[in-house]
Structure 1
Amino acid sequence: MHSMSSFSSTHPQAAVHDRTVFLLRWSLVVVFLWFGGMKFTLYEAQGIAPFIEHSPFMSWLHTAFGVRGASAVIGTLELATAAALTVGAFHRGVSVLGAVMSCATYAITLTFFFTTPGVAEPTAGGFPAISAPIGQFLLKDLVLLAASVVLLQSSLAQWKARA
């Protein structure tokens, strides 16, 4: 179980780490619940369609399931990730699984940065500007990946410490 331990209470740095991991875990749960639930709406299915369509990893989903079906598959995976992150608060093995699922999600979505047209726009100075509707939307996934990696590192450390 991932609770504040007696070690944490006698070592302030460990207590800060525990609180940080707690905040990251539950923030990711909220993100996955919200994003995952949205994938079942037409609005979201149409919104993510250009990302899926241009992705070498995910374009097959449109062929196999259509735009709405592909979005539902992704939503199901995101809700499963939220569930794994939630259960992982109480079970170290599931904690590792949830963190890996979260890392994989954001690693994949960051590839959209390179495969989706319109992410960056050239500026007069030659430096690419990140477009508001596409590029800035994707850039948040860099922070979500970092949060996922921190959670994975913590989960693996707890796994090893109790093994």
Structure 2
Amino acid sequence: MKLLKLAKWLDEKNVAFIVSSIGIAIILLWIGTTKFTPTESNGIAGLVKNSPLMSWMYHIFSINTTSAIIGVLEILAALAILAGNFSPRVGIWGSMLCVVIFFVTSTFFLTTPDTVTMFDGVYAPSGTGSFLIKDISILGASLFLLSHFAKKTLESGN
């Protein structure tokens, strides 16, 4: 019974929304700003190069420009998620951008070599794989935010 009361309180106070929106915004703002550094630009190069969804960017832009474009999109998504608290319609756009970002980064797990390794007879994510696999959860949180902002928009009649 106490667990049910806690769940009801969490729902009434929108705790999942608050934690998800702030968490995703922090992740995107932080990682988005690092995309303007040479270290991060070079750090994501292998991921982007091996991605059928993103490798085309290197045919048009340099490694640094590609990274900066990704950074701008990440920062825009974060700001739109935060703005969604005041304008749910803006939150919808930010959430959609997050869904695209984290869908694409989730596919890196499948397209980047050596994301899975074997140790002690068990297959497990490698260091890179562990870094990437978390994006599946963030993709789920992004879908949750999209649903939340859509409901708020419908409730307000906008």
**Partner SS state of residue 59, structure 1:** coil
C-alpha distance in structure 1 between counterparts of 2:9 and 2:123, whole Å: 43
**Structure-2-length-normalised TM-score:** 0.88
Paired amino acid for 2:57: L
Pick from 118, 123, 128 the counterpart of residue 123 of structure 2. 128
Paired amino acid for 1:70: T
C-alpha distance in structure 2 between counterparts of 1:41 and 1:12, whole Å: 42
For structure 1, the 5+ residue unaligned runs are 1-10
Corresponding position of 2:4: none
Pick from 24, 30, 44 the counterpart of residue 26 of structure 2. 30
Spell out the pairing of 1:1-163 with structure 2 (5 A cutoff). Answer: 12=9, 14-16=11-13, 18-123=14-119, 125=121, 127-132=122-127, 134-163=128-157
Q: After the TM superposition, which segments of 4 or more aligned residues of structure 1 sit over 3 Å from their partners?
A: 11-14, 122-125
**Partner SS state of residue 128, structure 1:** strand
CA contact (8 A) 1:40 1:75 kept: yes
CA contact (8 A) 1:62 1:69 kept: no
Give me the identity figure in percent.
Answer: 32
Deviation, structure 1 residue 48: 0.4
For this pair of structures, how many residues does the alignment match?
A: 150
**Structure-1-length-normalised TM-score:** 0.86
C-alpha distance in structure 1 between counterparts of 2:91 and 2:53, whole Å: 25
C-alpha distance in structure 1 between counterparts of 2:67 and 2:123, whole Å: 30
For structure 2, the 5+ residue unaligned runs are 1-7
**Partner SS state of residue 62, structure 2:** helix
